[in-house]
Amino acid sequence: MATLSKLNRRDFLKMTGLGSAGLALQTTVSQSAYGAFALSTQKAAARQAVALNIFVHIAANNRVTIMAHRSEMGQGIRTSLPQIVADELDADWDKIDILQAQADEKYGDQNTDGSNSVRNFFQPMRVMGASAKLMLRQAAAATWQVPLESCIAKDHRVTHSPSGKSLSYGELAQAAAKLPLPDAKLLSFKNPQEFKYIGKPMAMADFADIVRGTTSFGIDTKIPDMVYASIERSPILGGKVKSFDASKALLIPGVIQAVKLDGGIEPAGFNPLAGVAIIATNTWAAMEGRKALSVTWANNPAHAKFDSRAAISKLISAPVTEAKTVATRGDIAQAFASAAQTYEATYSLPHLEHATMEPPAATAKVTATSCEVWACVQDPMTARKLIADMLGFKLEQVTVNITLLGGGFGRKSKPDFVAEAVVLAKAIGKPVKVTWTREDTTRHGYYHAFSVQHYNAALDAKHQIIGLDSSVASPSIISLFKPDTGYMQDWELGQGFTSHVYKIPHFRARNIPVIAHTRIGWVRSVYNSNHAFALNSFMDEIARSNKIDPLQYHLDSLPADEPNDGKPTTEKSDFAYSPLRLKNAIKAVQKTSGWPATVKASEGWGFATHRSFESYVAVASKVSLANNELRVLEVHISIDCGQILNPDRVHAQMEGSVIFGLSAALMGEISFKEGAAEQSSFHDYPMLRISQSPKIVVTLISSDKKHSGAGEPGMPPVGASITNAIVAAGGPRIRDLPIKNHLKIG
Amino acid sequence: MNKVKINGVEHPIDADPNMPLLWVLRDLLNMTGTKFGCGKGLCGACTIHLNGLPVRSCLMPLAAAFGAEITTIEGLSANGDHPLQQAWIAHKVPQCGYCQSGQLMSAAALLKNNPTPSDAEIKDAMSGNICRCGTYPRIEAAIKSVAGVQIHQPATKSKGAI
Ligand code: FES
Ligand code: FES
């Protein structure tokens, strides 16, 4: 399937007349209220393309265009959501074009994170397809003067069943577009057995372009008169430019000028960082100019002494003070008083950076009355609002074109790089493309929070946990937006720290405050990966120290029935949590891995499980350990994410999550010294390579439950499955990630 | 003015001979299929062929291309139908797709010079290409499906046609 060329996209948008005055388009799709959508009946003269609703446009030549309003970063959403529309529309998949929507409130929430797209847009997309189909049938009925019931839509045509007369969707589109919005009560939806595309492993719409190198990512944008920028930013958060000397930089051929960026005030939010931009006629000249630039920084003393390893060590050894109790159940003191045995351990994980393969990149063009940007953004609405606020514009004056994203993982939800392009374009009066280097990306990230977690368990005579006393210290994402108190937010704690389903009668969870000294962001699975690592390590330690099979220990620690289905597990968790679905996920990897498999002396299996984004995941991994060198041999992963829209993309997300989780656990560490990140590129912040990639076995558990997340939930259990396997292979218990600080990575 | 032959076409280029080919391709010739990932030879996103051998264009100065034959992803095949490109689609390899030009160019060079590589040779030849999305299992499967299949020379456009 061809995607429209860039020029055609713009023309097409003009032609459809979407968003022009007079169309009462409302803001939210999530209520799936039919009335939230009004129709554009404007004709597109040149190609006779008409919009039956804001997601479905049909041209006279029978091509159907479906708008993709969420950002594509490899998860396949530009394909998956249109699959739903096309199915309910009874369209022919080969006659469909997918068009990336610009940032616009009329599409509803476009913030592509939190593994939310399918969770929130399944039903609205069905409404879009079904309503367009009904309008086509109504148009046919009117044309032939026959009852609606006799007009059957199938395979891109409407047929009058008694006479056999038929018209293609393209032939009916003009008439259909003139019809009023059908009454929501008249819509009928397919039975799941009738689905033609939903639940099928459709190939991603962009495959053909990707393998030819003809896609457009944010970094690929080129517009007339554009210049190129590379920015030297303050290495320490909150630093300002004291002085700079660009005289040598200006001697480099291609360098045009240097521009100082003042940077925003704290909290950092998505404001541009302070720095000096070199503007040039090409990217390389801009980067070379930076090398010749000298900048003196006025550091922010609040952050200039930050040493992340020292901070983590101190939290590991420090007694719990200032802790705030964030969840409690039963009587924790009583549990320890009656314990047959206790077990205690502390775990830590470092800061991480997203390391998207495509570094952040954005192009901006600013005039006195308008701003247009092209950027790889996960959250185009936030980018649009940020730009409008910066320029004092109304939202309508700002156009955000969403390119493909060369990886997102949460980094591209933060539009600081777009803001930089806007500031520069305004300052120099020319369109500017800002391209981050790998070093910029590594050193100026929105980092995954480090975490120190302490667990103390009271066990009964059968080694079951009767009391669990836990604490966590981890900088909060809220520090990006508000003065930092050091305490975490409820939803952060709820990602597996205050919320789990094990039958532990006495429970206390506390939060120790820790101030952020860098920009803390959300990285794939967010706090889940930290909390899953500690709890799964801890349960493994208890099981092994009591000679219990660790996987069996998880099964035995889960409630026998479903007491929590639909009810909160603890005070701070507000979602349904099914022990049965978790058990099924565990049993799935038990089966594929042959657990408890016998292995050679230097090999071992490890297990971990976690529920996040409403999906249930279990992982069993096999490692070998020879001469202190670790190799990951096999990773078995299972997921129950409810009904599956595109099994191939969920499968791919599981493979990707395993590899992402391995990079983090084995080698991932961003450390800070004197306030600045110590790592810079792939040599000191390495990513898993194909030679290190294990055999991955994925099990998708079919389920009739509501759709739940797929992009993130695969990652959290991966780390502990490896450290647990290392112990099984005769290696050390690693409580502090990454593993490379303890073992050689093969 | 110096000329560089890319995908069979001679391009006159007026630029600093030290400018890496990556930026010549991307910024001067607007051939953006070749990607920037690190600029240090660490990730393979910028892989192209220089006289049939895979090189990291981020480290390869323009001067190295004078008199040489350059092939980029845009010229790997005339119609996007190189057996590896077909295998990539059949095996649904890409996720975000950003690394895939480089992955394909590395794989194509491997098979051209060693049509029936062993598993270890595949891993070895491909280990310079990072995929952050984690498409390695499928890359390996796609390469294996093509290994041993006759691969034609990259198609080139007629001389002078830009
Ligand atoms: S950009 Fe050339 S190897 Fe990374
Ligand atoms: S497909 Fe995204 S980096 Fe490889």
pLDDT at A10: 34
Which of the four pLDDT bands, split at 50, 70 and 90, describes residue A713?
A: very high
From B53, B76, B99, the end of a domain falls on B76
In the predicted model, is pLDDT for residue A708 greater than 90? no
pLDDT at A685: 98
Which of the four pLDDT bands, split at 50, 70 and 90, describes residue A110?
A: confident
Calculate the CA dihedral of residues B4, B5, B9, B10 and round it to 10 degrees. 40
Is the minimum CB–CB distance between A417 and chain B shorter than 8 Å? no
Q: If we measure between CA atoms, which residue out of A583, A562, A589, A578 comes closest to residue A706?
A: A578
Q: Which chain B residues have a beta carbon less than 8 Å from that of A282?
A: 19, 23, 27-28
**Ligand 1 centre distance from Cα of residue B38 (Å):** 5
Q: In this structure, what CATH number is given to the domain that contains residue B53?
A: 3.10.20.30
Fold entry, domain A9-208: Aldehyde Oxidoreductase; domain 4 (3.30.365)
Residue by residue, what is the 3-state secondary structure of A508-536? EEEECCCCCCCCECCCCCCCHHHHHHHHH
B156, part of any domain: no
- B131 CB under 6 A from ligand 2? yes
- A76 CB under 6 A from ligand 2? no
| Whether residues B92 and B66 fall in one domain | no
Residue of B nearest to A659 (CA): B134
Which among B24, B25, B26, B36 is the top mutation candidate for probing chain A, defined by the most A β-carbons within 10 Å of its own β-carbon? B36
Which of the four pLDDT bands, split at 50, 70 and 90, describes residue B2?
A: confident
B63, part of any domain: yes
Higher-scoring residue by pLDDT: B162, A61: A61
Name residue, tokens 């595309």: A197
* Residues A123-180 pLDDT 10s: 888 888 999 999 999 999 999 999 999 999 999 999 999 999 999 999 999 999 888 8
* Residues A482-539 pLDDT 10s: 999 999 999 999 999 998 889 899 999 999 999 999 999 999 999 999 999 999 999 9
Model ipTM value: 0.93
Q: In this structure, what CATH number is given to the domain that contains residue B99?
A: 1.10.150.120
Rounded average pLDDT over A438-460: 98
Rounded average pLDDT over A707-711: 86
* Residues A592-624 pLDDT 10s: 999 988 889 999 999 999 999 889 999 999 999
In the predicted model, is pLDDT for residue A37 greater than 60? no
| Whether residues B87 and B71 fall in one domain | no
- Residues 6 or more apart whose CB falls under 8 angstroms from that of A327 comprise A493, A498, A507, A508, A509, A570, A571, A572, A573
Q: Percentage of chain A with pLDDT > 70?
A: 91
* Residues B72-97 pLDDT 10s: 999 999 999 999 999 999 999 999 99
The reply to whether residue A690 touches residue B129, judged by beta carbons under 8 angstroms, is yes
pLDDT at A39: 24
pLDDT at B87: 97
B152, part of any domain: no
The Cα A582–Cα A617 span in angstroms is 7
- B42 CB under 6 A from ligand 1? yes
The Cα B32–Cα B73 span in angstroms is 9
Give, for A635, the enclosing helix (H) or strand (E): strand A629-640
Rounded average pLDDT over A318-347: 93
Rounded average pLDDT over A397-401: 95
Long-range contacts of A119-122 (CB under 8 A, 24+ apart): A119/A613, A119/A614, A119/A706, A119/A707, A119/A708, A119/A709, A120/A29, A120/A30, A121/A29, A121/A30, A121/A70, A121/A81, A121/A84, A122/A84, A122/A645, A122/A707
pLDDT at A210: 94
Q: Of the spans A176-190, A191-205, A439-453, which averages the highest pLDDT?
A: A439-453
Q: Where are the domains of chain A?
A: 9-208, 218-301+360-435, 319-351+447-745
* Residues B30-52 pLDDT 10s: 999 999 999 999 999 999 999 99
Q: What is the DSSP letter of B143?
A: H
| Whether residues B66 and B91 fall in one domain | no
Report chain B's C-alpha Rg in angstroms.
15
Which of the four pLDDT bands, split at 50, 70 and 90, describes residue B150?
A: low
CA distance B74 to chain A (A): 6
Higher-scoring residue by pLDDT: A254, B157: A254
Is the minimum CB–CB distance between A437 and chain B shorter than 8 Å? yes
| Whether residues B29 and B60 fall in one domain | yes
From B35, B55, B76, the end of a domain falls on B76
Is the minimum CB–CB distance between B39 and chain A shorter than 8 Å? yes
- Is 3.30.390.10 the CATH classification of the domain at A218-301+360-435? no
Rounded average pLDDT over A365-372: 97
Which of the four pLDDT bands, split at 50, 70 and 90, describes residue A566?
A: very low
Which of the four pLDDT bands, split at 50, 70 and 90, describes residue A115?
A: low
Bridge partner list, A638: A618, A699
Residue whose CA lies nearest to ligand 2 atom number 4: B131
- The count of CB pairs under 8 A between chains A and B is 179
| Whether residues B62 and B91 fall in one domain | no
In the predicted model, is pLDDT for residue B99 greater than 70? yes
Q: From the centroid of its chain, how far is CA A23?
A: 32
Rounded average pLDDT over A201-229: 93
In the predicted model, is pLDDT for residue A31 greater than 60? no
pLDDT at B47: 98
From B39, B56, B76, the end of a domain falls on B76
**Parent domain of B60:** 2-76
**How many domains is chain B partitioned into structurally?**
2
In the predicted model, is pLDDT for residue B153 greater than 60? no
Which of the four pLDDT bands, split at 50, 70 and 90, describes residue A338?
A: very high
| Whether residues B34 and B88 fall in one domain | no
Two tokens at A448? 């995954």
Indicate the range of A322-331, A485-494, B151-160 predicted with least confidence: B151-160
In the predicted model, is pLDDT for residue A569 greater than 50? no
| Whether residues B96 and B34 fall in one domain | no
Whole-prediction pTM value? Answer: 0.90
The Cα A448–Cα A520 span in angstroms is 6
In the predicted model, is pLDDT for residue A718 greater than 70? yes
The Cα A422–Cα A419 span in angstroms is 5
pLDDT at A321: 76
Burial class (CB in 10 A: 0-12, 13-18, 19+), A24: exposed
The reply to whether residue B92 touches residue A74, judged by beta carbons under 8 angstroms, is no
The Cα B23–Cα A335 span in angstroms is 65
Mean pLDDT across chain A = 89
Q: Give how far Cα B70 sits from Cα of A661, B18, B83, B105, B154, Å.
A: 37, 17, 20, 12, 11
CATH code assigned to A319-351+447-745: 3.30.365.10
> Nearest 5°: CA angle at A531, between A344 and A487?
95
Which of the four pLDDT bands, split at 50, 70 and 90, describes residue A702?
A: confident
Residues 187-226, chain A, touching B (beta carbon < 8 A):
201, 203-204, 206-208, 210-217, 219-220, 222
Q: What is the DSSP letter of A211?
A: H
pLDDT at A8: 32
Q: If you write DSSP's letter for every residue of A368-423 in order, what string do you get?
A: SS-EEEEE--S-HHHHHHHHHHHHT--GGGEEEEE-B-S--TTGGG-THHHHHHHH
B157, part of any domain: no
In the predicted model, is pLDDT for residue A19 greater than 70? no
Which of the four pLDDT bands, split at 50, 70 and 90, describes residue B151?
A: low
